[in-house]
Structure formats: C-alpha cells, structure tokens
Amino acid sequence: MIDDDEDVLLAAKMLLKKHNYQVIIEKNPNKIPFLLNNDVYDVILLDMNFSKDTTSGKEGFEWLSKIKERDAQAVVIMITAFGDVEMAVRALKEGATDFILKPWQNEKLIATISTAIKLKRSYNEVDKLRKAKQMLEEQISQPFRDIIGSSNAMKEVYDLIDRVAKTDANVLILGENGTGKELVARAIHQKSLRHDSSFVAVDMGAITETLFESELFGHKKGSFTDAREDRPGRFELANDGTLFLDEIGNLSLNLQSKLLSALQSRRITRVGANTSVDVNIRLICATNMPVEQMVKDGRFRQDLLYRINTVEIRIPPLSERVDDIPMLVNHFLDYYSRKYRKDVLSITPEALTKLKKYAWPGNVRELQHSLERAVIMADSPTLQESDFLFNRKNDNTSTDSLNLDEVEKAAVVKALQLHNGNISKAADELGLTRASLYRRMEKYGV
C-alpha cells in the first residue's frame, strides 16, 4: 500500500493483519520500482494524490501507468479522498482493478481486496496453464513417444516401469544416448497417479551456469537484462506433475548443490524474488554417464545421487535387443513413408539382416535416422541393402562371424589394442561413451 498519509497506512495495516494479510506500506511512491523489483505482490493499493493541495489524481495515474508497464497483470486498487465517477471510470480504463474512496468502510475494503486477490490468482493460473499448454504442444509434436520392443531386455524395463509408476519414488534412468530414456520417463508419468498433470522435461546439458536458476526456478521481470516478464521456472510448471531432468550427470558441483537444496526443501525462489514457493513434483532423472564412478572421482555429489535414485532403471543399448529391430524398422518405415508421402512399404530380408548385424553405436536414434534417410532416397517401394550406408569403423556386417556378441567383443578388443588401453580414445574409435565401453568390457571380461 502506497499513501503519503502515515496514519492511513498504519490503520490499513492493522486492519488487514487481523485478516491474515501480509502488508508492506510505503509513503514515498518513488520507491515503487524498488519494491516491485524485490518482491511479488498479490495486490497494490495506490493513492492517487501525493502532493499537498492536489486533487487531480495525476500522480496516481502516472504511477499506475508505470506499474502496468512493468507488469501488465499487476492488480492495482486506486485510493483517493477526492474521487468522482469520471475519475473512477478513467482509472479502470487505464488498468486499475477497482477504486476505493477514503474514508472507507472496513468491510468494503476487505471485500475489495479479497476479490482482487482472487483475480490475481486467476491471472497466475492462466499464465501457468498457458506455458504448460505451450510445453505440452511441443511435446505432442515429437514423434515416437511410445516405447517399442518385445525383447526380454525390454520386458525387464516394462516390469520396472509398472512397479515404480504408481509410487512417487524418485527414479534414475541410465542408458546410452539414443536408447529412449525420455520415453521411459514419459511412460512412468503416464502410468502414475499424476498423469493428468504436466510432464516437464529439461535438458540439463543444454542449460548454462548463468541461466540454471532462471530456467529451473523462474525469475521476476527486471531481475536480469533479458528478464522482460515474470516467468515461472520448470519446477513450478511441473507442480503436481512430473519433472524430468535429462543428462543430470552434466551438472557442475555448484549447480548440483543448488538442485539438491531445492529437492530437499521442496521450495524454490524465483530469481529476483524474496519469497519462496512450495512445489510438489515427482522427480525422474536420466544420464548416460557413470554416476557411481563420478561420485568416487568427486565429480558428482553422493547425497544428490541418494536423493535421485530411489529406483534405478537401465535401458539396454540396441545391440542388446537385436530382436526388436524388425519391429522398430516397421514403425519408422510407416511413420516416414507417411511423413514424406513415399510409397515405401517394405524392406528386403537381406537389408533387414544388414541392420541386425550393425553395431548401432547411436542406438535407436541412429536406426531412426537411417530409416528416415533411406525412405527419402528410396527409388522403389522396397528398401534394399544399398539404401543403408554406415560408418565403416562401426560396421561389422563384413565379418565372417554372425554372432553379434563375438563381433562386438572383437571390436572392443581391437580398439583397446589400437590405442594401447586408452579408454577414452578406444570409446571414441567405437563411437561409444566411456560408460558404454566400460559396460561392454565388463560384459565380455576384457
């Protein structure tokens, strides 16, 4: 409440505190920008005249304009001892929510503020729904949202999804790039009790140190150079729903600490705000990095790992679920044939065999892109072996052995020998992450 009469301010504050309102009072209107920068207000009560012997309301209208310029959804109630119908109509036209005359009736003031607060909450809810709708539309536009596969390796994943979905347990999904970690996270959300609320995905690897808090916790308008409007963060957008933090292994220790603090308290504070907000989320994280080893190396906080992996789900690489390749091929073939309006309806047995023998270092994502390219370039309704071109260093189709495990083990041994046991260089040679190579070395006893 901004008014140059201190007695009015104190009287209003005493009245409103009895009704459990938190009230900030200020005599000097020049402090309005400072106040708006440092806190969030449900309602602003603004006097119309601050200079002695002034009854025009000019000052009040000027400050109303400045407030609305900063926040178009600010709820402002104008107050004056010299009002008339014409002034009230002008105030409403210029963005005020209501108009109160001094001296006011206490019941009238309380009722007006109560109505204004409901309006502010509706603004906030509409803004939240608008942003959630935008994110939902972006998610819906993404193809291949459903998990495809019936191999034994995938049946184990499905079983874990069913077991954990109905709980609120935090889940950590491990798997190489392109294995479908986000699809698993979405499946857990869809089977959960929160399925009617938002699923909000965040690529932690794409967030810079400077934007981390703004992206996750939100910000107030003017809190930094590009903050042109109040904006809720991903935690708020996911409230009552599921928050999926992908590539969480990429976070620095500093950002890990900030994330851990929010997860422990279940409260977040927007950048530039002084008040915190409670959040109720179901947390799912994913990474392609060896977080257990990172903890030993001091690169990942152990307490954060305990917090995020109540249940752990490992997604097998495509090389461990070769039986799913025909099903995946048919799915992608159907999708891209319709997308590009091509009459590509089938694939030869020889071409399918070639796909099943390939190592697929890029996993399902690489298979998807290979099918897309093949459909685009195809000259006939049936895809041939020649329609698929692979990186030679990952192409094991020319080997004499048809046993995939033998081929893969031979490639791992050869890469390690070539680089004198250097894991990083060998992994790069194979097109794998270090974590993926470690798993294959363990699998084959190398």
Packing angle of the helix pair 434-444, 423-430 (nearest 10 deg): 90
Give domain limits for the chain: 6-119, 150-316, 317-398, 401-446
Closest CA relative to residue 16, chosen from 77, 80, 96, 88: 77
Q: Do domains 150-316 and 317-398 have the same CATH topology?
A: no
Cα–Cα distance for residue pair 291/139, rounded to 1 Å? 28
Place of tokens 């608008």: 130
Say whether pTM exceeds 0.85: no
Q: Is the dihedral of CA 296, 301, 303, 308 positive or negative?
A: negative
Architecture field, domain 150-316: 3-Layer(aba) Sandwich (3.40)
Long-range contacts of 94-98 (CB under 8 A, 24+ apart): 94/61, 94/64, 94/65, 94/68, 95/64, 95/65, 95/68, 96/64, 97/43
Cα–Cα distance for residue pair 74/89, rounded to 1 Å? 18
- 6-119: CATH topology is Rossmann fold (3.40.50)
pLDDT of amino acid 354:
93
Q: What is the CATH number of domain 401-446?
A: 1.10.10.60
pLDDT of amino acid 85:
66
Q: CA dihedral defined by 46, 51, 56, 58, rounded to 10 degrees?
A: -60
**Is 198:136 a contact under the CB 8 Å cutoff?**
yes
pLDDT of amino acid 86:
76
User: Amino acid letter at 300?
Assistant: F
**Is 404:357 a contact under the CB 8 Å cutoff?**
yes
Place of tokens 């250097």: 422
Closest CA relative to residue 46, chosen from 123, 122, 113: 113
Phi, psi torsion values for 393, nearest 5 degrees: -70, -15
Q: What is residue 83's three-state secondary structure?
A: coil
| DSSP character at residue 433 | -
Burial call 332-349: b when 16+ CB within 10 Å, e when fewer = bbebbbeeeeeebeebee
* DSSP-derived secondary structure for 29-41: GGGHHHHHHH---
User: Which residues neighbour 197 within 8 Å (Cβ) at sequence distance 6 or greater?
Assistant: 238, 239, 240, 241, 242
Q: What is the CA radius of gyration of the chain?
A: 30
Q: What is the CATH number of domain 317-398?
A: 1.10.8.60
pLDDT of amino acid 397:
47
CA atoms within 13 A on the CB side of 435: 16
Here the tokens at position 266 are 């279940």
Report mean pLDDT in 10-residue bins for the chain, 446 residues: 90 90 91 86 89 70 89 88 73 88 88 91 80 62 66 93 95 94 94 92 89 90 79 92 95 94 93 90 95 94 96 95 94 91 88 93 93 90 88 50 69 78 82 81 76
CA atoms within 13 A on the CB side of 414: 11
CA atoms within 13 A on the CB side of 231: 20
Give the number of other Cβ atoms within 10 Å of residue 17's Cβ.
11
**Is 293:335 a contact under the CB 8 Å cutoff?**
no
pLDDT of amino acid 330:
93
Cα–Cα distance for residue pair 404/402, rounded to 1 Å? 6
Place of tokens 């020649």: 386
CA atoms within 13 A on the CB side of 373: 11
